[in-house]
Amino acid sequence: MDAVLQSGWLLEQEGRALLTRLDRLRPFVLYETRVPAAGPSPVATSAIHKYLAGTARKLRASVLDYLAWLRRAQERGSTPREMQRRFTLVRLRFNAMISHFDIFADVITQRSEYENGVWLAGLDSVAADSLSLPGGYYVPPPVVCYLARGTGAAIRRARTRLPGGGDNPVGVIRIPRERMVGSGIASSLIHEVGHQAAALLNLVPSLRRALQDMQRRDGANQLVWELYERWISEIVADFWSVARVGIASTIGLVGVVSLPSAFVFRVTLDDPHPVPWIRVLLSARIGSALYPDPQWARLSRVWESFYPLEQLKDERRALFERLLAGMDAFVSLLVNHRPQSLRGNSLREVMQTGERLPARLISLWRNWQRNPDEIRKTTPTIVFAVIGQARANGEITPERESWLLGQLLAHWAVKDALGVRSVYGEVKFPAAPVGLRPVRGKFISG
């Protein structure tokens, strides 16, 4: 009996300690220091707070229920083993809740970093714009961004299960620090948004069925269709990025996957990402299908000159040649796919491609040189598409690009924070740094 009482007393103390830790949790808005413009959107902030507050209430009730049961258990002479087993389950739920808090703390705390905090809020605006799809096909969830070490971006999608249980209330996108700031950031960011959009539209299962059908119908190229099916989740995200920001997406992808040849040509059967060499060419083919222009073929030739296919041995080279031979048919299937979620429309038809044709982007860029304030009236994804096109056309240097995008990210952050037209200041086009001359060359036809 002494062992039961002593065990019960110890576990009661532990249970009450969990309650004191819960009492110390406060909404992020009460203790995170940042300028107002750096904060996540009110919708995202509210969703995060409601989720954490609701989880804390459930956990508190669980701890109190356990303490009540513990008192009865001691009176009934339950075994210490049973009392400990039940407490362990409560503590596991508590630890899961704390891990969820830390996930969002990483997002919120960075908003206090000088410049980075405001830029992240601006990237939230870019993500929201890239997720918006006219036609009422879905209700987009709030999205928040944060920075991390490493080269790869990632998303923890909204409405997916968090570690330990619970549905994620917002999309959380991890951005590599090394990508800040240039138009290439849009390639990584909007690729991750594409994963969220694909889930909302149920695109991957729909496309898998179409690709499995092609495997049955085109037996001679079954392996090619199998590989495209294996990679389809990442290809759809790349499609979304190209559709939103044009050649900026493909050039940004080149920056991410430019690795030693052994990695660029590596075929890994359990990797959902296409082989890097194929992935860049596939991005360019998607771009050519959506926005026909000689620039895509030029960019493809540059990529192939970096990594000549001739360096591969016969068997591996044959596989890549087969993938290339089937690429146009695959891209046609992709852009003309009509999932049930789009109510009879194809992917190409819903992506507003007319607004992002290269000729129109170039026209907008040149108009902005005469009327700089016009850039602030344009949606973020079109701004990134225009600047990325200007970069490809050799009309803006990397230095000017970085400066301009930093200014625009701050503008979007202030605009969203105030809910009115930003008073951040006039957009200016600074001169190129003294002593730096751009390397001549471009991808767009002259």
For residue range 130-173, list pLDDT tens digits in order.
999 999 999 999 999 988 876 678 999 998 988 777 889 999 99
Alpha carbons 259 and 265: distance in angstroms, whole number = 10
Q: What is the pLDDT of residue 197?
A: 97
Q: What is the pLDDT of residue 73?
A: 85
Average pLDDT over residues 81-88: 88
Q: How far is CA 334 from the centre of its chain?
A: 20
Cβ neighbors of 208 (< 8 A, separation 6 or more) are 229, 232
Cβ-contact 296, 280 below 8 angstroms: no
Cβ-contact 163, 189 below 8 angstroms: no
* Residue 330's pLDDT band (cuts 50, 70, 90): very high
Average pLDDT over the chain reads 87
Residue with tokens 């146009």: 328
* Residue 365's pLDDT band (cuts 50, 70, 90): very high
Terminal Cα distance for the chain, rounded: 90
Q: What is the pLDDT of residue 432?
A: 43
Cβ-contact 224, 322 below 8 angstroms: yes
Alpha carbons 374 and 155: distance in angstroms, whole number = 32
Query: Where is 79: in which H helix or E strand?
Result: none
Average pLDDT over residues 197-204: 97
Alpha carbons 277 and 212: distance in angstroms, whole number = 24
Residue 288 confidence (pLDDT) above 60:
yes
Cβ-contact 239, 198 below 8 angstroms: no
* Residue 7's pLDDT band (cuts 50, 70, 90): confident
If you compute the radius of gyration of the chain from its CA atoms, what whole number of angstroms results?
A: 26
Residue 445 confidence (pLDDT) above 50:
no
Cβ-contact 117, 35 below 8 angstroms: yes
- Cα–Cα nearest to 267, from 229, 316, 224, 309: 316
Looking at the chain, the whole-number percentage of residues with pLDDT higher than 70 is: 91
Architecture of domain 2-114: Up-down Bundle (1.20)
Residue 181 confidence (pLDDT) above 80:
no
Indicate the domain borders of the chain. 2-114, 117-353, 357-446
In the structure encoding, which two tokens stand for residue 279, read together? Answer: 């992935």
Alpha carbons 154 and 17: distance in angstroms, whole number = 36
Average pLDDT over residues 402-407: 89
Q: What is the pLDDT of residue 2?
A: 74
* Residue 422's pLDDT band (cuts 50, 70, 90): very low
- Cα–Cα nearest to 121, from 416, 343, 444: 416
Cβ-contact 406, 181 below 8 angstroms: yes
Phi then psi for residue 179, to 5 deg, are -90, -5
Q: What is the pLDDT of residue 253?
A: 93
Residue 282 confidence (pLDDT) above 70:
yes
Q: What is the pLDDT of residue 152?
A: 77
Alpha carbons 170 and 143: distance in angstroms, whole number = 6
Looking at the chain, the whole-number percentage of residues with pLDDT higher than 90 is: 50
Helix axes of 380-392 and 247-257: crossing angle, nearest 10 degrees: 70
Q: Provide the strand spans (E) within 321-426.
A: none
Q: What is the pLDDT of residue 428?
A: 53
Q: What share of the chain is helix, strand, coil (3-state, %, to 5)?
A: 70, 5, 30
Q: What is the pLDDT of residue 33?
A: 64
Alpha carbons 76 and 70: distance in angstroms, whole number = 10
Cis peptide before 181 (omega within 30 of 0): yes
Residue 27 confidence (pLDDT) above 80:
no
* Residue 31's pLDDT band (cuts 50, 70, 90): low
Q: What is the pLDDT of residue 11?
A: 86
Could you tell me where the DSSP H helices lie in 218-337? 222-230, 232-245, 247-257, 261-264, 276-290, 295-306, 314-325, 327-335
Alpha carbons 349 and 26: distance in angstroms, whole number = 46
Alpha carbons 421 and 411: distance in angstroms, whole number = 9
What is the torsional sign of CA 11, 13, 14, 15?
Answer: positive
Q: What is the pLDDT of residue 443?
A: 54
Phi then psi for residue 171, to 5 deg, are -80, 130
